Structure 1
């Protein structure tokens, strides 16, 4: 980025404080790349807790989103409330020409996502979706290796994401309340963790839409997740490859990993920084190479620097980028089909 763009602060507002990841933006208030001009949060007690923790003034707090946008005139809004409210935020921001970045997934439903996309396109705003795995150097290295053609075409991709469950890992009460609500979150583990695999595969496949989706869901912790599924297995079928998504609130160990099986070998993105490749030899032999990868160059590893760079035209996202609207509309198609498949007990075919 140029020095002039770095020097120009982004006027940023926050919509909601009930998302457990809101600390990412609040902890960065003083670093200089953006100015936090307002926070829309009706829960004064919650806002006060964060004001004390992160040292900001309660003068930044507005009970009403529209009032906050009118009075503070931000360039962008970062959404850190429940997923159902993403549509409402775009409805308020887009006509004012204010860009929006939401935490994954894009929306609670395909209908909401399409309404959001229409508003973004009509009013020419950026609408980005932030995933933790978008920052993983292993995922970017895996795509680089796959795109080189050295291993041949991908045949099967397996993406596993999850942890022990929101209650078991101790998320805050305001986060737990909506994360386990089928209306406010759009579902349970299927939405919370299924979106990662759909997002990554759409990126790897350069925006290719699947042929069909088949899903099975379970509720293995009814005492902790009484209203939603907490385990999902999703099979996404393409003409020449298959994606298997394993999304769970029942993993004993938290994980975000991806395996790519290609014609001549396999690529394992084991976590954020560790990647392995296996070049096939004979029946079950292989040559393994292990990578310890450094963090990506700025601004990509930081969602707020990336948002700033996109808005200030320092970066143009490639087609079907992990953050992009076109990618995340396909993600929502896959998630919607997965929910229908699990409910109806049959494969859902795409048009």
Structure 2
């Protein structure tokens, strides 16, 4: 009897954590996004079990099936079929950006949580519909950015809040690469990346979202007062229907941000520079950060810090997704993954597109 009582007490104490660690049943919506390899090639973890895939392009599905070893029996033609047959707890969207709204429309009424690849939507109108569905059906809708995994960005924000460089005055965020065609993305990925109806634009959307997302996080949800953007098409032969270079200027009460998304960088990059009254913080990449403190007109001290990848679950977007759903992780307000951040991000992107087309500065309420 004593042993039985001990066993009951033990189960009572550990059962909440056992429930939290329950394996998440994950569906995948689409295979055309080049980032889909992050989930298809994910190593074995106990937190997620991929149960179904939606993809109408069976040639693509067959190709990826051979590459990653999943069964074609898992592949369905529609969200409705996949959800009915596999009963997922959550879905990760890896199709074109326009499809994000349709994925949420299919999932939300059934209580299925959703994570999409950046940006949240092709337009603010679609984003507002997604937000309404998430609130109505009480589901999580996360947006995944590679820069959400960068330990340097989080260290930079901590240093900023500790007033290491004084009050923030200017931010420069640069993101991009040589261009989708030049870096050799798949034909299925290239087709919609360069279609304004499926991607919402070119580089201004594809990489402008990173800077808008990071600025919204750094400013703790504060919206910019104005948005001014210009775009160019420097590779008309590769990107005939969309911009491939953009500059976006955001103004806040005491800060200016310059976002430089481009498909024309000679070397791929995702970096951020923070300038305060007394110094600067350079988040060079995922693992290297530099701190410069002014010592005179042009003199300064410099410290270089190197970091490992973020600790679990923050090192992997799917672990973050599972942890948020099972309740073991609560995202910080206006954190990069959050819906509240990405609604403002979409407002900035919409204003950027409008500004680039009209040649006028857009004022945000």
TM-score (norm 1): 0.98
Pair 1:245 & 2:259 matched:
yes
Query: Which protein shows a greater Rg?
Result: 2
Pair 1:153 & 2:167 matched:
yes
CA distance in 2, matches of 1:146, 1:163: 28
Report if the CA contact (8 A) 1:75-1:99 is conserved: yes
Q: Which residue of 1 aligns with 2:301?
A: 287
Change (3 A) 1:29 1:137: closer
After superposition, residues 3-14 of structure 1 pair within 5 angstroms as: 4=18, 7-14=21-28
Q: Which residue of 2 aligns with 1:112?
A: 126
CA distance in 1, matches of 2:100, 2:21: 30
**Per-residue CA distance 1:279-318 (angstroms, 9 max, x = gap):** 0111011110000111111001100000000000001111
Pair 1:212 & 2:226 matched:
yes
Q: Which residue of 1 aligns with 2:281?
A: 267
Pair 1:319 & 2:328 matched:
no
User: How far did 1:150 drift?
Assistant: 2.6
After superposition, residues 62-211 of structure 1 pair within 5 angstroms as: 62-211=76-225
SS class of match (1:59): helix
CA distance in 2, matches of 1:88, 1:180: 20
Report if the CA contact (8 A) 2:20-2:327 is conserved: no
The one of 22, 25, 31 equivalent to 1:17 is 31
User: How far did 1:6 drift?
Assistant: 6.8
Report if the CA contact (8 A) 2:21-2:326 is conserved: no
**Per-residue CA distance 1:207-263 (angstroms, 9 max, x = gap):** 001101000000000000000000000001111101100000000000000000001
Pair 1:53 & 2:64 matched:
no
Report if the CA contact (8 A) 1:135-1:300 is conserved: yes
Structure 1: give runs of 5+ residues left out of the alignment: none
CA distance in 2, matches of 1:314, 1:298: 12
Q: CA RMSD in A?
A: 1.0
Pair 1:329 & 2:343 matched:
yes
**Per-residue CA distance 1:53-90 (angstroms, 9 max, x = gap):** 11111110001111111221100000000000000000
User: How far did 1:33 drift?
Assistant: 2.1
Would you say how many aligned residue pairs link Structure 1 and Structure 2?
350
Report if the CA contact (8 A) 2:355-2:362 is conserved: yes
SS class of match (1:306): helix
Report if the CA contact (8 A) 1:193-1:247 is conserved: yes
**Per-residue CA distance 1:115-170 (angstroms, 9 max, x = gap):** 00000011000000000000001101100100112321110000000100000000
SS class of match (2:335): coil
Change (3 A) 1:31 1:239: same
User: How far did 1:30 drift?
Assistant: 3.6
User: How far did 1:5 drift?
Assistant: 5.4
User: How far did 1:29 drift?
Assistant: 6.2
Q: Which residue of 1 aligns with 2:7?
A: none
SS class of match (2:35): coil
Report if the CA contact (8 A) 2:20-2:328 is conserved: no
Report if the CA contact (8 A) 1:5-1:314 is conserved: no
CA distance in 1, matches of 2:342, 2:103: 17
Comparing 308-317 and 46-55, the one that deviates more: 46-55
Q: Which residue of 2 aligns with 1:258?
A: 272
Q: Which residue of 2 aligns with 1:234?
A: 248
